[in-house]
Chain A
Amino acid sequence: MANMSLKKNEMPAQDPVVRSGNFMEVALGYSKEAAVDEAKRCLNCKNKPCVGGCPVGIDIPEFIAKVAEEDFEGAYEIIARSSSLPAVCGRVCPQERQCEGKCVRGIKGEPVAIGRLERFVADWHNEHSTAEVRKPEQNGHKMAVIGAGPSGLTCAGDLARMGYDVTVYEALHLAGGVLVYGIPEFRLPKAIVQKEVDGLKAMGVKINTNIVVGRTISVDELFEMGYEAIFIGSGAGLPRFMGINGENFKGVYSANEFLTRVNLMKAYRDDSDTPIEHGRNVAVVGGGNVAMDAARCAKRLGAENVYIVYRRSEAEMPARLEEVEHAKEEGIIFKTLNNPVEILGDEHKFVNGMKCIEMELGEPDASGRRAPVEKADSEFVLDVDCVVMAIGTSPNPLIRNTTAGLETNRRGCFICDENGLTSREGVYAGGDAVTGAATVILAMGAGKTAAHAMDEYVKNKNK
């Protein structure tokens, strides 16, 4: 008999007051009992609407049934068929807009907590599994992957499982991409990412850090080195700024810089040599996950007041629901329907305020969301000494500028077919480098699709 409770089992979490002073994980994960109880809420629908909401098509009811039976390893095997990074996706997927958004239980009450169950299963596996990763039999063909983020790691993992000799080239000193430089420790512990990377290495994937493709080595040189196909998962790392006055004052960061200093370089720790501004009053401009991450990092660095300044209303915020809730619990102040018009600075060019204007929602724009319109004479100054711009990123131009024959669209994204094939033979791409800034799971899905296409391509070529 299904558990007919209208509410999800609650996710245990660190107390908001305590956690806003540390960088440890906020959500603590389900207990075995909570997981089994939650799994029993699944109605095991025949038409599986949730699966249609999953970008990588995990057989959700099937894995949840295994959880209900307390066969957690069995549940893991089902997820692992479709997803390479379940411990990551269980934590960072916007489930309310994907699987859970389609859940029948959500029509009356709350949907099944699919994301939390995925996380539980992955964590269970990581903690209890004794199965050693085996190095698959090699087929003697070499593949290169550019970028060790979600799409690149997924592509590399799938290719390695097929027997390819895979080398990943990463520009930074650490593999993980946005999972290590962008998403904070308190939302995605870096040990989890490291475990995934170690798993790939155990399968024989080589990860070469400190190599900037487009500078240290070119795509053409990779082909000369004998790689038969190449996957580009270079992400969307170029930060956007608003182009308003005062944006170059000291204390104005791109979210990329702010988060990289905190997450990758561990600037929050005393033993890190990387400096960061510890603002007393911090404004984060934007309404996505990155904005929430930056705001919550600023709070943890000791800020008294942290504001989210967003030009639309909360309903239009692209951030995951849970991140918005967590941010609010931690005391982040939401200044929605406000837009910065100028950043003010003192005589030494340090930020000492941000002039904003109130907005109201007008007619729907191209994105289908109601467009924000300025309210006349509503300007005011927000008292801040640090501003973080979290208004989006674009793909990095390094590879497209140094590789002949790679077509991109006007936003600088690689143009690919549905299998990730670019305009150049043997070169595939996926993730944010193709879509512009999107989600971890979409990037993973693209890495997966491309891996299969690359396999086909190499097989056909060598026939």
Chain B
Amino acid sequence: MYKIIRKKQLNPTVTLMDIEAPMVAKKAEPGQFIILRVDENGERIPLTIADFDREKGTVTIIFQIVGSTTEKLNHKNEGESLQDFVGPLGTATKTDGLKKVAVIGGGVGCAIAYPVAKKLHDLGCEVHSVVGFRNSGLVILEDEFKGVSDKLFVMTDDGSSGRKGLVTEALKELIESGEKYDEVIAIGPLIMMKFVCALTKEYGVKTTVSMNPIMIDGTGMCGGCRLTVGGETKFACVDGPDFDGHLVDFDEAMERGSMYREFERHKHEETCCLFSKEVK
């Protein structure tokens, strides 16, 4: 069992947890992920590692409540434990030789973009961060990003915090103003990553994206996480989760991500009913 050491609500739908998992913490690197099961009958879900503390032996996960499993996870409290927690899986984000990088985060994807920005900052790289959210109530990790970014742009769809607009608008301005990036690292909803890549392709800036498809084992066994990258089938769990964004078939990835939408909706409603009954 893996104990929840700390739990913090970052916004109404996004929660942070520090999980006691010393062996995972010892090896974790930004860009890698873990797979967890909340309880005995739980499904295995992948979550990208948001932070880790090798000394304390904890791994931080940040998740958005989107379905039954994340709902159940969110109902766990400090001191309680998760059934299973395995990792670190996948390959770490490549940071070698990067001198100047634009890190683009969207929504809960910022939770994964942050450790990458932090690592780059610690390596002495110039980091420009652009983070986007739907509205001010959903902004997460602003201070953390501030601490590791040479420039930070917060974007919201409705302008209730930072600037009004999409992350691509800010990125486009930066590139057009003459900023030369060795690489753009974009982590967020597929649709955001797709448009970031469309933009950077125009300007010929190498772009890495972090994919988070449906998977079960996370070790290359099921192939459920397969995507098309440069015309070839790749498994996100072992070949990624980072890929060259200019080669990823985002449309296919978006379709595949919706495979169990009906099941999810149904199961989530069931879980919510269950929890509301408990409250009564």
Contacts and interface: CB of A to CB of B under 8 A. Distances in A.
A and B associate:
yes
A307 to B, nearest CB: 21
A253 B41 CA distance: 22
A273 interface: yes
Nearest to A261: B216
Interface in B51-110: 68-69, 72, 83-89
A173 B83 contact: yes
Interface in A215-265: 215-217, 237-239, 241, 243, 247-248, 250-251, 253-254, 256-257, 260-261, 265
Interface string A23-40: 000000000000000000
Interface in B22-62: 23-24, 27, 37, 41-44
A172 B41 contact: no
Q: Which of A171, A215, A237, A349 has the most CB of B within 10 A?
A: A215
23 contacts: A173-B44, A210-B86, A215-B27, A215-B88, A215-B89, A216-B24, A216-B86, A216-B87, A217-B27, A237-B221, A241-B223, A250-B255, A250-B258, A250-B259, A254-B222, A256-B221, A257-B224, A260-B216, A273-B41, A275-B267, A396-B219, A398-B219, A398-B220
Interface residues of A, number: 40
A265 B214 CA distance: 14
Contacts of A251: 259
The prevalent SS among residues of A at the interface is loop
A260 B23 contact: no
Nearest to A257: B222
B104 to A, nearest CB: 26
B43 A254 contact: no
A266 interface: yes
B224 A253 contact: yes
B13 interface: no
Contacts of A238: 220-221
Nearest to B89: A215
Interface in A178-197: 181
Given A253-B224, A348-B258, 7 more contacts: A171-B86, A212-B219, A216-B88, A237-B219, A239-B223, A250-B259, A254-B223
Nearest to B215: A257
B157 interface: no
Interface in A110-165: none
B137 to A, nearest CB: 29
Interface of A: 171-173, 181, 209-212, 215-217, 237-239, 241, 243, 247-248, 250-251, 253-254, 256-257, 260-261, 265-266, 269, 271-275, 277, 348-349, 396-398
Interface of B: 23-24, 27, 37, 41-44, 68-69, 72, 83-89, 216-224, 226-228, 233, 238, 252, 255-256, 258-260, 263-264, 267
A375 B229 CA distance: 33
A275 B264 CA distance: 8
Contacts of A269: 41
B43 A171 contact: no
A266 B24 CA distance: 27
Contacts of A248: 226-228, 233, 252, 256
B158 to A, nearest CB: 30
Nearest to B27: A216
Contacts of B27: 215-217
Contacts of B223: 239, 241, 253-254, 256-257
A210 B222 contact: no
Nearest to A251: B259
A209 B85 CA distance: 10
Contacts of A173: 37, 44, 83-84, 86
Nearest to A278: B263
